[in-house]
Amino acid sequence: MTKRAGIIIIGDEILSGLVQDSNALFMVKELRQKGVDVRRVSFIKDDVDDISREVKIFSEEFDYVFTSGGIGPTHDDVTIEGISKAFNVRTVINGQLRTVLEKMFKTTLTPEQLRMAEVPEGAEVIPDETIGLPLIKYKNVYIFPGIPELLMKKFFVIEKLLFTDNPPLIKRIYIKEFESRVAPILNKVVKNHRNVKIGSYPFMNIEDYTIMITLESYESNSLHDAFQELTNSLPSDTIVRVED
């Protein structure tokens, strides 16, 4: 069975338009290459109740939950508190994180710095030589920082632990035709090939083609059969090119 994932992007700065998110796009692409089906991406504010509610729902619905943002030392970094509330546990100081922070700052930690050692009680911390602070994991929720460079490093650590390469097989068909004329053909192919995900994406201002049709599957025979039916059903003079 394909594993399912949900991504929660946390931060007032994202929803206010002050910062453009790149973390969701990065994680979706990486997870896709590992054969993980991302079912939902949510953008929410730095609000304890919002975080708690969203994390609880995602954790129940998906195999993996990835959060981004809100784990720093400032007043609006409330992700840990929100996740603790979602599972009805206390927020506590993790000794391993505290030790790493003390070595990092080379001094007694201030209350603000100590906030960076907080975890939901019972959380696991995952160290790796490629990252500074260990990654925090609670149940099936993986808690990442919002800074893209830091998130990427920690995400690569998780990839090594959780996933093997299992990207879906894909074919792309570029055609020059109105999508409304292609829709009946697509509907028939979709109905006949349930194991193949088929998408239709119109483009404007491209001279060569007007639609890119994608076919994806983890089963090569299913993909081949759907591809053959689709290309045989489309008028040959509409097909511009085909890509694997």
pLDDT in tens, 193-229: 999 999 999 999 899 999 999 999 989 999 999 999 9
Same-domain check for residues 88 and 115: yes
Q: Which of 162, 195, 226 is the last residue of a domain?
A: 162
Please give the share of the chain, as a percent, with pLDDT higher than 70: 100
Domains contained in the chain, number: 2
Same-domain check for residues 66 and 109: yes
Same-domain check for residues 143 and 226: no
| pLDDT-derived band at 2, boundaries 50, 70, 90 | confident
pLDDT in tens, 23-56: 999 999 999 989 999 999 999 999 999 999 999 9
Q: What pTM, to 2 d.p., does this model score?
A: 0.87
Same-domain check for residues 30 and 91: yes
Three-state SS annotation for the chain: CCCEEEEEEECHHHHCCCCCCCHHHHHHHHHHHCCCEEEEEEEECCCHHHHHHHHHHHHHHCCEEEEECCCCCCCCCCHHHHHHHHCCCCEEECHHHHHHHHHHHCCCCCHHHHHHHEEECCCEEECCCCCCCCEEEECCEEEECCCHHHHHHHHHHHHHHHCCCCCCEEEEEEECCCHHHHHHHHHHHHHHCCCCEEEEEECCCCCCCCEEEEEEECCHHHHHHHHHHHHHHCCHHHEEEEEC
> Which one, of 171, 235, 175, lies nearest residue 210 by Cα?
175
Domain extent for 79: 4-162
Same-domain check for residues 102 and 58: yes
CATH code of the domain containing 91: 3.40.980.10
pLDDT of res. 167: 82
Same-domain check for residues 127 and 198: no
- In whole angstroms, give the CA distance from residue 7 to residue 57: 12
Q: Is the dihedral of CA 99, 105, 109, 112 positive or negative?
A: negative
Q: Which of 131, 162, 193 is the last residue of a domain?
A: 162
Q: Which of 143, 162, 181 is the last residue of a domain?
A: 162
pLDDT in tens, 177-190: 999 999 999 999 99
pLDDT of res. 165: 75
- In whole angstroms, give the CA distance from residue 69 to residue 44: 10
- In whole angstroms, give the CA distance from residue 235 to residue 2: 34
pLDDT of res. 1: 66
Q: Is the dihedral of CA 131, 136, 139, 141 positive or negative?
A: negative
Same-domain check for residues 174 and 97: no
Same-domain check for residues 91 and 127: yes
Same-domain check for residues 72 and 187: no
CATH code of the domain containing 194: 3.30.70.2860
How many CA atoms lie within 13 Å of 156's alpha carbon, on the beta-carbon side?
Answer: 9
- In whole angstroms, give the CA distance from residue 75 to residue 46: 10
